[in-house]
Amino acid sequence: MSGTVPRGDNEDPALEILRRVFGYPSFRGRQAEIIRHIIDGGDALVLMPTGGGKSLCYQIPALVRPGVGVVVSPLIALMRDQVMALRQAGVRAAYLNSSMSWSEAVEVERAVAEGRLDLLYVAPERLVTPRFMDLLARAPLALFALDEAHCVSQWGHDFRPEYLQLSILHQTFPDVPRIALTATADAQTRADIAARLDLVRAEQFIASFDRPNIRYRVVPKKEPRHQLIGFIRDNHAEDAGIVYCLSRAKVDDTAAWLRNEGFDALPYHAGLDSSTRESNQDHFIRHEGVIMVATVAFGMGIDKPNVRFVAHLDVPRSLEAYYQETGRAGRDGLPATAWMAYGIADVVAMRSMLEGSETPDAQKRIERTKLDALIGYCETAMCRRAVLLSYFGEQQAEPCGNCDTCLEPVSTWDATVPVQKALAAVYRTGQRFGVGHLIDVLRGVATEKILKFGHDQIKTFGLGADLPKASWQSIYRQLVAHGLLQVDPEGFGGMRLGDNAMEVLKGGRPIQLRRDPEVLTRRARAAAGGRKAEAAGSGGDPWPDPQDAALWRDLKACRLELARAEGIPPYMIFHDSTLVEMVQRRPRDLNAMANVPGVGSRKLERYGEDFLEVIRHGD
Ligand code: ADP
Ligand code: ZN
């Protein structure tokens, strides 16, 4: 059956499995090294970003080594997904968790004892029970894989006390190799994992945390919903994506609005009952092109590889959170976008929330630094990827060429005089008013509030009528980012002069600011006839050739039909990346089909003819 894959006589068993079972021609990054190390009985700590290909690092050694590979995984949904995907590829895999009946569990235990399984996924709380340890003692064991290993760390973002007990594995079965895996980057968590899981002497494999297929974009907020829809229509009209909002109400509103605009969008937040949440998540996973509008409650345990965009309508809590949340895009390695709309109100809200909170001072200092880093990322005129990676301690040699500032370099301008006016407006109104009011003062708008406080009488009134409101917003935003203005913790977003503001106000220092990219408002977009945002450097049409585009659609339709019939998500038939290869290669027969990356022997047998039919039909 495996004769379709070309291979040498003395082929390495790991490579043979990679090709025959998973259908991939070669290993990626350090996969080969890691797999060899485990097969040889070593312990490993693997740090790789999401989408880096961690699963194969333990799945293949489990298939090569005799006995069952035991995989500890904290999320039931993820476990189920992985097992289903493995079975699709013809691997003997099963899971044990609290969602199954007693008789189902007994059946799995029997399979383990009789050596009929290659991979067993298990929840940590189950693993350490006497019954389970007893089962392990009776079965030959290939390895222990500890997935999401950062759960053992109290520093981490999702600490699970059950993980602390996992060191018992090593004590009881000292000869079984262990591999701990995580996508969490920082050094503190890494050291913590090694110490707590008794892996200090394990070899560490640390990959770059760069996600080169993700394009980073940040736009100044103007009409956020319209900007969002413009972004989706121009770049991801038929794609699945996640839109993050801060509040539940905004999630509901935004989802309703997107539906109204013709998108298949659903809400997800902790305020929805669990059956609605589950069915919305299920819809997202099982259908194509669904947009999930969600709070941060959504995303953990979502394994969907073809999420093509992650959009933030509100700023995330920190750059760590941003990296995590945007990391859910493009797990399959195909182009994806991380898009954020960011405005002065966000900065003000975050600053005043922090300053006004009861948090102890030391903690506040840390939070302040994190917030500064986030704002720095939003306001940078340099490569965004470089800023993001340097936050995680990685230096990038060259600008990436795949973020908005690389694609459309931002210009800076000499803003010394307008900045003096902006600061003067703060100073002369008594350092307690918010940006909206300050801009009215500068632009000479005689609102009721202006008249009430007599601000039409001060020297600054109308002094900034030469610049539009958006420019003043941009200026104020950047002044806060640079620390020249501070958000008053007591007031409601009132502005005070920051440390060096006086010096600037008195003309002691020139100031360069970043020029905001032009934001197309709804009216401007309509006037432009909804033209593609080519100038904005959008990804453009992935299939310029209409025949390719048609074939791509047909292949996806075929996949969806098969997935429906089997009751599984489409990506478990084939990943998008595999369909893309089919469009490019147009395999004519089963032999050619076997060479398409992602088509293993089992899937070739089951689905090969169906997809060949579609390809032949397309000509
Ligand atoms: P992680 O668990 O690190 O997020 P996965 O194990 O889910 O990543 O792998 C991410 C994607 O990369 C999957 O679509 C997987 O099939 C694919 N992949 C992994 N290793 C290879 C490889 N050697 N060649 C091609 N694709 C691979
Ligand atoms: Zn860049």
Can you list the positions of beta strands (E) in 30-153? 44-47, 68-72, 93-96, 119-122, 141-146
Domain match, 324 and 233 both:
yes
Per residue in 175-213, pLDDT (tens digit) is 999 999 998 767 777 888 889 888 889 999 999 899 999
Question: At a CB cut-off of 8 Å and minimum separation 6, what does 361 contact?
Answer: none
pLDDT given for residue 532 in this prediction: 39
Ligand with an atom nearest the CA of residue 389? 2
Write out 56-76 in H/E/C secondary structure.
HHHHHHHHHCCCEEEEECCCH
pLDDT given for residue 529 in this prediction: 47
CA of 52 from ligand 1 middle (Å) equals 6
DSSP 275-317: HHHHHHHHHHHHSSS-EEEE-TTS-TT---TTEEEEEESS--S
For residue 564, give its domain range. 546-618
**Rounded CA separation 453/560 (Å):** 64
Residue 536 lies in a domain: no
pLDDT given for residue 70 in this prediction: 97
pTM: 0.85
Domain match, 398 and 458 both:
no
Please identify, among 190, 206, 222, the residue that sits at the C-terminal boundary of a domain: 206
Instruction: Say what the alpha-carbon torsion angle 373, 374, 378, 383 is, to the nearest 10 degrees.
Output: 50
From the CA of 48, give the closest atom in ligand 1: 3
Q: 3-class SS at 45?
A: strand
pLDDT given for residue 183 in this prediction: 87
Ligand with an atom nearest the CA of residue 215? 2
Q: What is the DSSP letter of 18?
A: I
Please identify, among 516, 538, 559, the residue that sits at the C-terminal boundary of a domain: 516
From the CA of 57, give the closest atom in ligand 1: 6
- The residue to mutate among 18, 31, 47, 55, having the most atoms of ligand 1 within 8 angstroms of its beta carbon, is 55
Domain match, 140 and 29 both:
yes
Domain match, 96 and 168 both:
yes
Domain match, 130 and 187 both:
yes
CA of 256 from ligand 1 middle (Å) equals 34
CA of 300 from ligand 1 middle (Å) equals 18
From the CA of 597, give the closest atom in ligand 1: 25
Please identify, among 494, 516, 538, the residue that sits at the C-terminal boundary of a domain: 516
Per residue in 442-491, pLDDT (tens digit) is 999 999 999 999 999 999 999 999 999 989 988 998 888 788 888 876 65
CATH number at residue 601: 1.10.150.80
Angle between helices 55-64 and 31-39 in degrees, nearest 10: 40
- The residue to mutate among 50, 56, 184, 303, having the most atoms of ligand 1 within 8 angstroms of its beta carbon, is 56
Instruction: Say what the alpha-carbon torsion angle 467, 472, 478, 479 is, to the nearest 10 degrees.
Output: 100
Residue 372 lies in a domain: no
Domain match, 563 and 498 both:
no
| Low-confidence stretches of the chain (pLDDT beneath 50) | 1-7, 9, 520, 529-539
Domain match, 400 and 455 both:
no
86 in Cβ contact with 119 (< 8 Å): yes
Pair of tokens at residue 344? 């002065």
Per residue in 282-329, pLDDT (tens digit) is 999 999 999 999 998 888 778 899 999 999 999 998 898 899 899 999
**Rounded CA separation 230/237 (Å):** 9
Domain match, 17 and 152 both:
yes
pLDDT given for residue 524 in this prediction: 55
Residue 351 lies in a domain: no
DSSP 462-525: TTTTTS-HHHHHHHHHHHHHTTSEEE-TTTTS-EEE-TTHHHHHTT-S--EEEPPPP---HHHH
Q: Quote the number of domains for the chain.
A: 4
Pair of tokens at residue 424? 């003067």
574 CB within 6 A, ligand 1: no
> At which residue do the structure tokens 């993050």 appear?
244
From the CB of residue 308, how many other CB atoms can be counted at a distance below 10 Å?
23
Q: What is the DSSP letter of 409?
A: P
Domain match, 310 and 398 both:
yes
pLDDT given for residue 491 in this prediction: 57
Domain match, 287 and 399 both:
yes
Closest C-alpha residue for ligand 1 atom 10: 51
Which residues lie across from 220 on neighbouring strands?
Answer: 342
Residue 553 lies in a domain: yes
Which residues lie across from 71 on neighbouring strands?
Answer: 121, 145
24 CB within 6 A, ligand 1: yes
Residue 358 lies in a domain: no
Domain match, 191 and 99 both:
yes
Domain match, 396 and 443 both:
no
Name residue 581's amino acid.
E
